[in-house]
């Protein structure tokens, strides 16, 4: 564990996680110099309290200043700061130790932790596990995401039985001693190739989840992801349970709608997946992972199954927003890579007679994805793709052979144009296969923009709802509440 009291620490990146790390460093007695390449009014407001805690805050510094590096003994890099390579390079050149905010928080925790990572499904899986544990009256908290950084949980961690951490590859890159009691890996698919450059480097980053686990710890891993890790010669020392919706040789698998276990002492059917609110092969795997966690933590199967059977879909993940004139509007804004789009398209029901019935709204910031790989699937179900953001030209080049493509300047414009073409039985699917870009601030914001656009189509606005002046219609649309 790093001793922080009296140590001069350079914190790079002042997003939500970075500010959380700064608060913990100040509370631990460190002398903090905090920097960020951005400088705007919102960030100024958000970082003002840090200066009151004693931190030296510098905004708008994309390049290192020698005077700020003087006497620095430790660098802490937030996820937002990991791409600020000039600062990272400067710390490396001076041979200064670096960790991420995940490692910083982990070293101060006073409870057992369960960590979940994966290209897709990590947050959904972490929330399912939280629900399973909460149902057994165990003090549990979910952290690691932007809205609850791990460093903010340290003070109360001694009151918890388990802290569940949803972590990404950038956080794992900068770990040293991070060692979860139970580590879950949902899947590995191409993502963030703009950062990693190759699948091998991406797989290595994900596999750091297991690097410090001991033989008495548990690793719960999708069987296909485990094969990818082992293909690089990486061994896992902890006890392993595998799961898969397509590989029946996995310890937990899907067999004709039943989730079945081959785990010694736990053999047989565990749950009828057809009875669950969550549907689709990817959600079956999320449920398998949660069941496996329940097993290793000695939670009765009946309790786990009851929670998992009744768990609804999370917001922005194939979420039905509205049905207007027989057209379904589905918000899958959390789809930030091609693999997520593939799972979403595969889970959509085809139109009458197997016809194409999906109007796809996609695009955003480019992460160097292999967009052409999904072409054949697009040709099966997508009537047309409406493309936005900086990836739109790249997507059109990759997809136009498989489905008609149209460029739009905004999400709102895409929704409007599609609504004029969609017919009864069609699906309007926001599944960007990209990160947010332009005037969008995160997938949640993008999902809410989509929802508002759909509400306008339905003739409902915030003002209408508050004043009671919503226009009348012979048959009001089916609009789901927030």
List the domain range (segments joined by +) for residue 454: 319-479
CATH of the domain at 67: 3.40.50.720
- Domain boundary, last residue among 282, 309, 336: 309
The answer to whether 389 touches 437, Cβ cutoff 8 Å, is yes
- Asked if the structure places residue 89 within a domain, the reply is yes
Q: What is the CATH number of the domain that holds 228?
A: 3.40.1190.10
**For residue 465, with 0-12 CB atoms within 10 Å meaning exposed, 13-18 middle and 19 or more buried, which class applies?**
exposed
Average pLDDT over residues 127-152: 88
Residues 324 and 420 in one domain: yes
Task: Indicate the number of domains in the chain.
Answer: 3
Listed range (3-12, 46-55, 471-480) with the worst mean pLDDT = 471-480
* Residues 333 and 388 both lie in one domain: yes
What's the pLDDT at 473?
Answer: 38
Both 380 and 301 in one domain: the answer is: no
One domain, residues 356 and 403 = yes
Q: Which two tokens stand for residue 446?
A: 């993008």
Strands 382-387 and 358-362: parallel
CATH number of 474's domain: 3.90.190.20
pLDDT digits (tens, 9 = 90+) for 176-229: 999 999 999 999 998 888 888 899 999 999 999 999 999 999 999 999 999 999
Provide the pLDDT confidence category of residue 474 given band limits of 50, 70 and 90.
very low
Out of 309, 338, 367, a domain closes at: 309
Q: pTM score, two decimals?
A: 0.82
- CA 454/CA 460 separation, integer angstroms: 9
Give yes or no: residues 334 and 303 share one domain.
no
Order of strands, edge to edge, in the sheet holding 140-143? 140-143, 162-166, 112-117, 182-185, 218-222, 239-244, 252-255, 258-261, 268-272
- Picking from 309, 340, 373, the residue at the C-terminal end of a domain is 309
Identify whether residues 218 and 367 lie together within a single domain.
no
Examine residue 2 and state whether it is found in any structural domain, yes or no: no
pLDDT exceeds cutoff 90 at 478: no
Q: Is residue 412 part of a domain?
A: yes
122 and 236 together in one domain: yes
Asked if residue 37 belongs to a domain, the reply is yes
pLDDT digits (tens, 9 = 90+) for 92-116: 999 999 999 999 999 999 999 999 9
Same domain flag for 266 and 241: yes
Grade residue 146 by pLDDT with cuts at 50, 70 and 90: low
Answer yes or no: is 314 within a domain. Answer: no
Q: Are 134 and 266 within one domain?
A: yes
Same domain, 297 and 349: no
Q: For residue 241, which of 212, 265, 257 has the smallest C-alpha distance? A: 265
DSSP 436-455: --TT--SHHHHHHHHHHHHH
| Model confidence at 282: pLDDT above 90 | no
- The answer on 137 and 171 residing in a single domain is yes
**What percentage of the chain carries pLDDT values higher than 70?**
93
Residues 291 and 169 in one domain: yes
| Structure confidence at residue 466 (pLDDT) | 39
């Amino acid at each position: 564990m790093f001793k922080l009291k009296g140590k001069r620490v350079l914190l790079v990146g002042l997003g939500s996680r970075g500010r959380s790390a700064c608060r913990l460093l100040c509370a631990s007695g460190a002398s903090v110099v905090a920097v960020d390449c951005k400088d705007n009014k919102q960030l100024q407001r958000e970082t003002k309290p840090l200066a009151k805690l004693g931190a030296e805050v510098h905004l708008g510094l994309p390049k290192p200043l020698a005077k700020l590096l003087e006497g620095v003994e430790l660098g802490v890099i937030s996820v937002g700061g990991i791409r600020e390579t000039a600062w990272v390079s400067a710390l490396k050149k001076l041979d200064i130790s670096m960790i991420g905010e995940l490692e910083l928080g982990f070293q101060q925790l006073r409870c057992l932790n369960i960590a979940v990572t994966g290209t897709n499904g990590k947050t959904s899986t972490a929330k399912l596990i939280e629900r399973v544990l909460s149902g057994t009256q165990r003090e549990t908290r979910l952290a690691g995401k932007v809205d609850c950084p791990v460093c903010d949980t340290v003070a109360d961690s001694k009151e918890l039985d388990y802290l569940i951490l949803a972590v990404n590859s950038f956080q794992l890159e900068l770990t040293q001693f991070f060692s979860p009691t139970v580590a879950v890996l949902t899947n590995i698919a191409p993502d963030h190739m703009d950062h990693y450059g190759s699948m091998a480097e991406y797989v290595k980053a994900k596999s750091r989840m297991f690097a410090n686990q001991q033989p008495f710890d548990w690793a719960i891993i999708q069987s296909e992801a485990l094969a990818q890790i082992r293909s690089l010669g990486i061994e896992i020392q902890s006890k392993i349970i595998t799961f898969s919706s397509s590989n029946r040789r996995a310890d937990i698998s899907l067999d004709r709608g039943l989730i079945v276990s081959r785990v010694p002492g736990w053999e047989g059917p565990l749950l009828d997946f057809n009875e669950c609110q969550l549907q689709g092969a990817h959600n079956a795997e999320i449920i398998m992972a949660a069941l496996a966690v329940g097993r290793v933590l000695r939670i009765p199967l009946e309790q786990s199954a009851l929670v998992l059977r009744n768990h609804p879909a999370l917001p922005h993940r194939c979420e039905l927003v509205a049905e207007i004139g027989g057209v379904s509007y589905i918000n899958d804004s959390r789809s930030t890579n091609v693999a997520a789009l593939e799972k979403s398209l595969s889970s959509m029901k085809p139109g009458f007679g197997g016809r194409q019935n999906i109007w796809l709204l996609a695009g955003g910031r480019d992460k160097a994805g292999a967009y052409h790989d999904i072409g054949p699937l697009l040709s099966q179900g997508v009537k047309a793709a409406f493309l936005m953001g900086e990836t739109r030209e790249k997507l059109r080049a990759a997809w136009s052979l498989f489905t008609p493509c149209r460029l739009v300047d905004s999400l709102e414009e895409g929704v409007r144009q599609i609504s004029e073409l969609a017919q009864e039985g069609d699906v309007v699917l926001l599944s960007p296969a990209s990160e947010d870009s332009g005037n969008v601030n995160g997938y949640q914001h993008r999902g809410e923009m989509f929802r508002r656009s759909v509400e306008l189509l339905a003739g409902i606005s915030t003002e209408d709802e508050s004043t009671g002046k919503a226009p009348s219609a012979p048959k009001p649309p089916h609009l789901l509440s927030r």
